[in-house]
Chains A and B, each alone.
Chain A
């Protein structure tokens, strides 16, 4: 019984839930195995952040969602996040999908964009081929537990040579702190395809709430010559513990671009990694974060170079307020044989309060001689000379600091290739900075 006390799921419960949803046998088996692995595996251990002290077992219980007839039924605060008239839109509320749409044009091109549970029913073979292949089920307790309890989710498949011109969007939100919130996002971009995916992880809570974990595992498969842009912005209430693992596997001449906005108010584990398996594969990761209150964050970007002439760029910029803590890791790993690989990373932290803490840890692990790699990291405060200079032109101190902070984030924000995401990020940044 002791193992059951420390584990929020057991094989019977996982099996029962899977059967009640009418899932295929392979998936039921996967969930059961996940529940079993959960009992023996350990939580991930990121550098210098004791996530095992967080309430990681607060995963709630599955509650069947009430489906929406139209996106207009969404609360206004959420509708403004996503804009109107999306070509593709998937909404998850708490434990499951409540809305999905995809334009007839994209459907006719063979694009699949739906929630992952539906995809399991309608495209089971395709899903089975990729699910938990980028993030292994038995990697740690988080991946194992997630494999047992994931729900809703997103599935995006782009066929060979299809270029999707407009961003496809998903909205993942929680408004019931007792309901499991564990979307799994699976993206498969087939040869020479192009696609941009944007999601928001949000919440609707007022006042004190019990803790709830968001378990969000993202797997992206970039096939030869394909190009995927993945943008995600997390901005949930303080009671949510954000555990997000993102992983891309990139084949020959494929490209993944990550844009991550960690603007969440609660504790956060955010890991974004590209496995550059193919020759000539490339990755570009941009992460922006603002820490406030007492929140603790572990933000990691990683690139694993396997293919020859692979290239990775990673930039993280974080602003730390109040008594927030962020440990920011950049890990560039170049495997033996990945000749002519290049990996560059930068982590910069701007501290706005003497009680805040920010560590930037660039790590280069290189097992091949014929490569280039670089890193830069800095932790600093708002420079009083700069504030003086701006004030000497009549700009108030508050406005001067605002300009400098926005300027610190601008090199990343302004390079975000999707205008709507850029605009939305600016708004959320402003909101969190002013709060």
Chain B
């Protein structure tokens, strides 16, 4: 069955402050959607709410992946159902090596009695790390500990490659990346594009979208999708900024929950 991801009327709050005010997006397998918007408009909140970050409370709405509402599930169940979030600020966990972590994650998905063999795992990981131009030594380093910003982002992409998700959310994956790293990350994402997989790319720069061509572009302001279009919308935003959107819609302050 082709992947089908539908976010409907999603509202979410942090500390009783409503940030998401009803988000609607539909992503089919094979599609790449980009969400753009200035800082503080709720983009990253959408990513965190979808994954189930403990600080965010979803108050209304659904996010169904192939008919199952992820909002009814715990974070780990959402991941096992096929959702993947490449985080803007991945945690550092001392004492847990990258490879032990990845193997636990893969085995959690495969289930008991169906664990990946160590040899197969190491081969896969080494191949994917090479693809991302990562130093093999990173397999044995503690998870994200002492990684630079760019190394953390590559590590997120490595996890994405290894975990084979159905819906990938990339939260500001381009921030802190130089152009070479950006190309490598984009190549990693592009290699994953398939009819079985949908992407939701959150960014406030057009730059990334030069390397990962989106099918749909959405503009987020005040916790809502205020405008949607094709790739040409991203180009116009890059050239003209966001002011024309605000003018067109009569928006003075595009942010949400900043007070």
Contacts and interface: CB of A to CB of B under 8 A. Distances in A.
Interface residues of B, number: 27
B17 interface: no
Contacts of B52: 388, 391-392
A12 interface: no
Contacts of A395: 76, 79, 104-105, 108
Interface stretch (A141-149, A369-377, A401-409): A401-409
Contacts of B85: 392
Interface in B41-70: 51-54
Contact of B91 (A386, A394, A411): A386
Given A406-B95, A410-B95, A411-B94, A396 B108 contact: yes
B80 interface: yes
A383 interface: yes
Contact of B93 (A384, A391, A392, A403): A403
Contacts of A47: none
A411 B93 CA distance: 12
Contacts of A409: 95
A388 B94 contact: no
Category for how many chain A residues contact B = 20 to 34
A410 B142 CA distance: 10
A422 B142 CA distance: 19
B209 interface: no
Interface in B186-217: none
B95 A408 contact: yes
Given A403-B93, A407-B96, A390 B87 contact: no
B96 A406 contact: yes
What is the predominant secondary structure among interface residues of chain A facing chain B? helix
A404 B95 CA distance: 7
B93 A386 contact: yes
B75 A391 contact: yes
B1 to A, nearest CB: 20
Interface in B82-120: 85, 87, 90-91, 93-96, 100-101, 104-105, 108-109
B163 A393 contact: yes
Given A383-B91, A394-B163, A403 B101 contact: yes
Contacts of A388: 51-54, 75, 91
A123 interface: no
A390 B159 CA distance: 11
Nearest to A403: B96
Interface in A375-430: 383-386, 388-397, 399-400, 403-404, 406-411
A319 to B, nearest CB: 12
6 contacts: A389-B90, A392-B76, A392-B87, A393-B159, A395-B104, A407-B142
Given A388-B54, A403-B100, 14 more contacts: A386-B93, A388-B75, A389-B87, A389-B93, A392-B78, A392-B79, A393-B159, A394-B109, A395-B79, A395-B108, A397-B76, A399-B108, A403-B104, A410-B94
